[in-house]
Homo-oligomer: A and B are copies of this chain.
């Protein structure tokens, strides 16, 4: 056995022991050292680069590491074998998805406005905000020798009177501890109840003087990122907000690789643990700490995730989702509780899962479509969710059609060598001076925050600006020379946004032709999906009244630039609306409102699904879209530079 020491930028270190020949990425995984590997460790993405500080590693050379970098000690973990003791530096960027858990500052959060706007829109659409949770005060006579009714009957009868029903149920988990609680509070208590028609279930018994908070948890489980809110179920107020990477990322960037991993022995448990134990539970704990809440006060949870994420969360066999004829176990389910999934909130909290409508259109989209309110408009709307899968919904109050395309993780910074989520240190916007080719950057974070990498909205700006300045050609290849432009020995060009000495990173923040190519395929997938879906309905882009853009791409997204690179159709910019993380805001509304919960189901039932891979024109459309802005420039008449 050899000793491998992982060093982090903050000076922490973790020691691991590894056998001769063991894969370094595997050693990191089993030691719980977060190193992203969106490509599942196939040396394809170059994300898992670490620096050998001392000792020896047996590492293959790859295109992702230059000779100079290799000489400096840079290695890809996934192609490195342990053959001796080694000291390894893990740069922050190597775990940008996973480790940068962020509890948002609620005072300044722009997104809070988006949630408030969504709530107002949904209310305007006639949805009432009321949920099944209540607190009631129940006072009983204490038992005596002449009144020996057992506790269960005593509390049931008293609760039935207070609740005005004859159907109060006290489940075993509550019954188990009621004797001591009732006596502690001398038979004068508050009950947290769940009301369903005339049926009432007692969830919790609390003291008479306690300020009983009923909280709820809304979670968007994306393939790449996870975002969550804790809310006050009575006022709807957002008490905490946070986001982090999906811990499953180390089992692959996309749903297919995750399903394959989950199908290996012990895999289902591994993938479930990665999302529940490594991602959600720490996120919940951190949010509770920031809002000074106990997790046991969270009595209801709503999850919006794609079909695969929902299945992996539930620990359900997901292989049929990826294999023809692509059949999920469930679209909708109402029988899951927090304890079933080992989620550390109130154990008997109901876990609502926004309904899936197909193997590749899931609860993230039904929740998001609900939040966009396009189901309530007479005009034609296009809803676009820019996730690892790109999903589209087109329609109005009378019909809705959905489709999904595989965009990859580029919008969330995956597949991009310096890509990262839209969080502190991310370049979220940029312009480039056409003359000097010098960039002007906007970086997420406090005044003085240095750049770590670049998020989706920043990449859109960057590619649009590189193209506008004639630095890259329509194929995304570098055609100008300058101080910030480099070519490696294979001729691959790159543009340096921030030199290492000015960055909060161990290397230059740059974008290369592989990155641009990856991003062009992502935007091409979206654009061609829009075209094919509209064509199938015999619609044209000018018949679109509104475009609602959602996703973790970053609130800084510049719609003009997104049109410039051929990602969105060339229609008036004022038709575009960025609605933030709509699957999270959809989950938030479902959490707060039982009517919304029902409405989302109705919306999902009214949505048809177009399988793009069955459309003969899709492949040609996709190939034609992998240019800047498109091989058919006539589709972008408003563009002033081409």
Closest Cβ of chain B to A338, distance in Å, is: 12
A317, B179: Cβ atoms closer than 8 Å: yes
List residues of A (292-344) whose CB comes within 8 Å of B's CBs.
314-320, 324-333, 335-337, 340
Of all chain B residues, the one with the shortest Cβ separation from A147 is: B325
A179, B325: Cβ atoms closer than 8 Å: no
| A175 CB-CB contact with B under 8 Å | yes
Closest Cβ of chain B to A616, distance in Å, is: 15
Closest Cβ of chain B to A465, distance in Å, is: 43
Closest Cβ of chain B to A634, distance in Å, is: 36
B325, A175: Cβ atoms closer than 8 Å: no
| A169 CB-CB contact with B under 8 Å | yes
Closest Cβ of chain B to A514, distance in Å, is: 35
Closest Cβ of chain B to A187, distance in Å, is: 11
B177, A317: Cβ atoms closer than 8 Å: yes
| A172 CB-CB contact with B under 8 Å | yes
B328, A150: Cβ atoms closer than 8 Å: yes
List residues of A (170-213) whose CB comes within 8 Å of B's CBs.
170-173, 175-180, 183
- Taking a contact as CB atoms closer than 8 A, the residue among B145, B169, B327, B331 that contacts A335 in the complex is B169
B151, A329: Cβ atoms closer than 8 Å: yes
With a cutoff of 8 Å between Cβ atoms, the chain B residues found around residue A150 in the complex are 327-331, 356
How far apart are the CA atoms of A170 and B329 in the complex, in Å? 12
How far apart are the CA atoms of A327 and B144 in the complex, in Å? 9
| A143 CB-CB contact with B under 8 Å | yes
- Would you give 30 A-B contacts (Cβ < 8 Å), ordered by A? A143-B325, A143-B327, A144-B325, A145-B324, A145-B326, A147-B325, A150-B327, A150-B330, A151-B329, A151-B330, A152-B331, A152-B332, A152-B333, A153-B330, A153-B331, A169-B335, A171-B335, A172-B333, A172-B340, A175-B314, A175-B316, A175-B330, A175-B333, A175-B335, A176-B315, A178-B329, A179-B316, A179-B317, A179-B320, A183-B320
Of all chain B residues, the one with the shortest Cβ separation from A311 is: B179
A180, B317: Cβ atoms closer than 8 Å: yes
How far apart are the CA atoms of A359 and B145 in the complex, in Å? 12
Q: Is the interface of A mostly helix, strand, loop or mixed?
A: loop
Closest Cβ of chain B to A194, distance in Å, is: 15
B176, A314: Cβ atoms closer than 8 Å: yes
- Taking a contact as CB atoms closer than 8 A, the residue among B145, B175, B183, B358 that contacts A148 in the complex is B358
A148, B335: Cβ atoms closer than 8 Å: no
Sorted nearest first, the 5 A-B pairs with minimum C-beta distance are: A179-B317, A152-B330, A145-B325, A143-B327, A179-B329
Q: Which range holds the interface residue count of chain A?
A: 35 or more
With a cutoff of 8 Å between Cβ atoms, the chain B residues found around residue A144 in the complex are 325
B333, A151: Cβ atoms closer than 8 Å: no
Closest Cβ of chain B to A340, distance in Å, is: 5
Of all chain B residues, the one with the shortest Cβ separation from A143 is: B327
With a cutoff of 8 Å between Cβ atoms, the chain B residues found around residue A332 in the complex are 152
Of all chain B residues, the one with the shortest Cβ separation from A146 is: B325
Of all chain B residues, the one with the shortest Cβ separation from A321 is: B179
Q: Residue among A150, A176, A315, A320 with the most chain B CB within 10 A?
A: A150
With a cutoff of 8 Å between Cβ atoms, the chain B residues found around residue A337 in the complex are 172
| A175 with B329, Cβ < 8 A, contacts A317-B180, A335-B169, A358-B148 known | yes
Closest Cβ of chain B to A432, distance in Å, is: 47
Of all chain B residues, the one with the shortest Cβ separation from A181 is: B317
List residues of A (120-172) whose CB comes within 8 Å of B's CBs.
143-145, 147-153, 169-172
With a cutoff of 8 Å between Cβ atoms, the chain B residues found around residue A320 in the complex are 151, 179, 183
With a cutoff of 8 Å between Cβ atoms, the chain B residues found around residue A319 in the complex are 179
Closest Cβ of chain B to A335, distance in Å, is: 5
Task: Convert A458-496 into 0s and 1s, putting 1 for each residue whose CB lies closer than 8 angstroms to a CB of B.
Answer: 000000000000000000000000000000000000000
With a cutoff of 8 Å between Cβ atoms, the chain B residues found around residue A328 in the complex are 150-151
A176, B327: Cβ atoms closer than 8 Å: no
A176, B325: Cβ atoms closer than 8 Å: no
Q: Residue among A178, A183, A335 with the most chain B CB within 10 A?
A: A335
Q: Residue among A183, A316, A319, A332 with the most chain B CB within 10 A?
A: A316
Closest Cβ of chain B to A166, distance in Å, is: 15
List residues of A (395-433) whose CB comes within 8 Å of B's CBs.
none
Closest Cβ of chain B to A412, distance in Å, is: 27
How far apart are the CA atoms of A324 and B145 in the complex, in Å? 7
| A326 with B148, Cβ < 8 A, contacts A172-B335, A336-B172 known | yes
Closest Cβ of chain B to A343, distance in Å, is: 13
Closest Cβ of chain B to A146, distance in Å, is: 8
Of all chain B residues, the one with the shortest Cβ separation from A144 is: B325
| A176 with B331, Cβ < 8 A, contacts A144-B325, A324-B145 known | no
Closest Cβ of chain B to A50, distance in Å, is: 37
How far apart are the CA atoms of A359 and B427 in the complex, in Å? 70
How far apart are the CA atoms of A316 and B183 in the complex, in Å? 14
